[in-house]
Chain A
Amino acid sequence: MRVILETKPRKKPKIPIEAEAIIPQNFLLKNDIRVYEGNKERTLDEIFYVTTEGPAVSADQVEIVLSGETGVIKRVGEYMNAGRIVIEGDIGMHCGNFMSAGEIIIRGNADAWLGREMRGGVIRCEGNADHYCGAGYRGEKRGMRGGTIEVLGNAGDFTAEYLSGGEVRIMGDCGDLPGVEMRGGTLIIGGDCHRPCGNMTGGTCMVFGTARALLPTFVNAGSEEREFCGQRVEMNVFRGDVANRGKGTLFVRKK
């Protein structure tokens, strides 16, 4: 089954839409799907032109395609456990919160908290991701626990904060403090970043660009070769964060 949701023109297009109900399992079950526009509850067809094609017997066979002014739509794919969501443009905050399986493809940019506390599945963002990609919410002790997030562009600050499992792969640059408080999983940064992995206690982070303002609480543990985009790269290996008795590993490209 393919569900196409194209946003309708709205009088106040900046009012955010809370759409945690937009997940494949809800369309399979033909649930009455409601979203919020600001503090007003709306039916799906008040906000979108809805087209449904073909059948599905399981949520795996459901694909949702979102297009139009999608950058203000929040929480798409929250608790998703199967199927596929394709967003033709940008997507709002908290896309893929807690998702456990399935796939989300974003052709544009993702706002903050992409894949927050994700448990499994795949998110691929072809543009940039904003702050807290793959992180835990404020006050949470664990961020993403499983699955994969791939961002082809850049990511903001606090990428993969509290990462506990799975893999976050940022092909471009990251902002400040990527992998801060990381306790497991893998964070790969293709470009540059600033102050990576503070308070890290476990997991692996690899920086293939320049890591600026590297924290002094990482101990150099030799060098190793790693592969990135088909090239072999000589990397410095650090262990830390020793300020936290951490046992994480940080690879940074040699100059």
Chain B
Amino acid sequence: MAELLIRNAFVIDPLSGIRGEIKDIAIRDGKIVEDTGANAEVIDAQGCLTLPGGIDSHSHVCGTKVNFGRYMSPEDMRAGRTSRKGVMHVTSGYSVPTTFGNSYRYSTMGYTTVLEGAMAPLEARHTHEEFTATPHQDMLANTLFDGNWSVMEAVRDKDVKRAAAVVAWTLAAVKGFAIKLTNPGGTEAWGFGKDVHSIHDTVPHFGVTPAEIIDTMIRANEILNLPHSVHLHCNNLGVPGNYQTTLETIERVPDLHARRQTLYLTHAQFHSYGGSTWKDISSKSEDIARMVNARPQVAIDMGQVMFGRTTTMTADGPMEFKLYMLHQNKWSNHDVELETGSGIIPVFYSRKSLVNCVMWAIGLELALLTRDPWQCMLSTDNPNGAPFIKYPEIIALLMSRRFRDRESELLEPRTGHYVPLFAIDRELDWYEIAVMTRAAQAKALGITSIGKGHLSPGAEADIAIYPLKPQEIDPSAEYKQVMAGFGKTRYTIKRGRVVSRDGEVVVEGANSTIWTKARIPPELDLSSDPEFVKKFEQYYTVRMSNYPVQDVYLPRGVCIGTEASL
């Protein structure tokens, strides 16, 4: 029995209602327990901030498009190299590092669970292979259904049950975790040489609208009783004036779940633009936040932009093509048969660009104007807004008005006319940061019941101890220490084992992949449905029997089984 006792920890555990008290944490065999025996190994936390392991609910770290980002950016690969050291593999890359690079950098920041934001079902094997090489985090995969032909046919036929059946079959086949809709209908419309500019535009050939896809998938998701809600990347990403589309989308969301949101809107920053062109783009964060405050059935993540070099990558092919037309730099677009697409381009967010400064401000505004931190999670849509290694800086900005004011002096001088940020006094506290970086994510993803995101007995012993003493430090003034502290844990503990210490990775690590399987009545099982089978026979480049991801790809799979309400 491996036992570990953490003494004198300043614990904030929002899901257990602990808002900051000095406590001991007892661990046995990878789980939190009431107490340990006399022989337990002891860590003295010395009053340092101790939180459940960080959870990133939207990040792009594994899979084909991430890998293409690596492949097309040799300059990114040359940046951020570290050599082999002890148990650490060689790493390289800055915005799209190698898998071990991602894993070690997350680990030293105290993150123990990461959700890959977009996995194309057809290309799931690649994602799972990279998951096994991201050893310090438990991984989950949002699975793309935005342009899925079978789904759109079910939407056209107003057949929610069939949509649910497609989702159930596909998630189980590709070992996915949740439904992701990226620019629903938009990428498929683009495949037909068209585009959708509102949620009421029709997707050619299928005759469905994004609004209908979203409505149907929300209901299908809840019929299947999946742990997470539908995870939506709204239509019109990055388009000036798109906040209207976002508001319209949120307005449609019913409240169907007691314990979590009914719709998760990712990287809300990219969807909160006013104006009509790049010249008069402005922040509409106040409108979006007001709407979110009024609708507890939605949750958002920030999608914060930070200045510097990064790589954008999304299943939103048409959006990336538009970016390419703007930058004329290197670019990749990719079509995934009957499912979705993707695009990748490198970008540089500059303080000299008014547009970029407005984007930077919007993300922070969303976090500061959303009243309930459980509804707005910290993210950069890694690496789209910035590489996740910028999280500590974002935390410091949210906790310190002084830091924001100091930053404002470096921005494009007109920025203040287009954003409300500098009129906002709010400074988030330690508790709110703890919510926004782990507890809210665990709740939103529906993984608290498997012991994620909290430290009550029975939970997974995933813990981050930061070299920060909340009782001694004033984050408003000492934002630099806050930034440094969140950048490097004193200890990151994964399943009861110290995996990194003071920024040094100390074990090889072995993660789990969490996936969902909804049990549906046999008459809805699509395995022998003639229409569904025909898709594989006529259109897919792979046979149906070769499509599912075999168990061997998930050496430590954790399946969350649900019973569909059918």
Contact = CB atoms under 8 A, between A and B. Distances in A.
Contacts of B72: 138-139
A138 B71 CA distance: 8
B73 interface: yes
A137 interface: yes
From A137, A139, A140, residue with most partner B Cβ within 10 Å: A139
B74 A140 contact: yes
A247 interface: no
B330 A141 contact: yes
B329 A138 contact: no
B529 interface: no
A137 B329 contact: no
Contacts of B74: 137-140
A139 to B, nearest CB: 4
A141 B74 CA distance: 10
B345 to A, nearest CB: 12
- Chain B at the A interface: mostly helix, strand, loop or mixed? loop
Q: Size class of A's contact patch?
A: under 10
B523 interface: no
Nearest to A140: B74
A137 B74 CA distance: 7
Nearest to A136: B74
Contacts of B531: none
- Chain A at the B interface: mostly helix, strand, loop or mixed? loop
Nearest to A139: B72
A139 B70 CA distance: 9
B75 interface: yes
Interface residues of B, number: 7
B329 A141 contact: yes
Contacts of B329: 141
Contacts of B75: 139-140
A140 B74 CA distance: 7
Nearest to B77: A139
A139 B72 CA distance: 4
Contacts of A140: 74-75
Nearest to B75: A140
A23 to B, nearest CB: 18
Interface in A135-175: 137-141
Contacts of A138: 71-72, 74
Interface string B502-519: 000000000000000000
A189 B74 CA distance: 29
B233 to A, nearest CB: 26
A137 B329 CA distance: 15
Interface in B41-96: 71-75
Contacts of B73: 139
A69 to B, nearest CB: 27
Nearest to B330: A141
B564 to A, nearest CB: 45
Contacts of A139: 71-75, 330
A97 to B, nearest CB: 11
A137 to B, nearest CB: 5
Interface in A167-186: none
A194 to B, nearest CB: 25
Interface in A88-141: 137-141
A226 to B, nearest CB: 32
A20 to B, nearest CB: 12
Nearest to A117: B74
A155 B460 CA distance: 60
A141 B329 CA distance: 8
A140 B329 CA distance: 10
Interface in B342-371: none
A135 to B, nearest CB: 12
Contacts of B330: 139, 141
Contacts of B71: 138-139
A139 B75 CA distance: 9
A140 B73 CA distance: 7
Interface string B326-349: 000110000000000000000000
A119 to B, nearest CB: 15
B64 to A, nearest CB: 16
A214 B330 CA distance: 25
A241 to B, nearest CB: 16
B85 to A, nearest CB: 14
B68 to A, nearest CB: 10
A103 to B, nearest CB: 26
Interface in B176-232: none
Contacts of A137: 74
A118 to B, nearest CB: 15
A98 to B, nearest CB: 11
B281 to A, nearest CB: 27
B383 to A, nearest CB: 16
Nearest to B69: A139
A139 B311 CA distance: 13
B91 to A, nearest CB: 16
A129 B73 CA distance: 25
Interface in B404-458: none
Contacts of A141: 329-330
A136 to B, nearest CB: 9
A246 to B, nearest CB: 13
B490 to A, nearest CB: 33
Closest 8 CB pairs of A and B: A139-B72, A139-B74, A137-B74, A141-B330, A139-B73, A140-B74, A139-B71, A141-B329
Given A139-B72, A140-B75, A141-B329, 11 more contacts: A137-B74, A138-B71, A138-B72, A138-B74, A139-B71, A139-B73, A139-B74, A139-B75, A139-B330, A140-B74, A141-B330
10 contacts: A138-B71, A138-B72, A139-B71, A139-B72, A139-B74, A139-B75, A139-B330, A140-B74, A140-B75, A141-B330
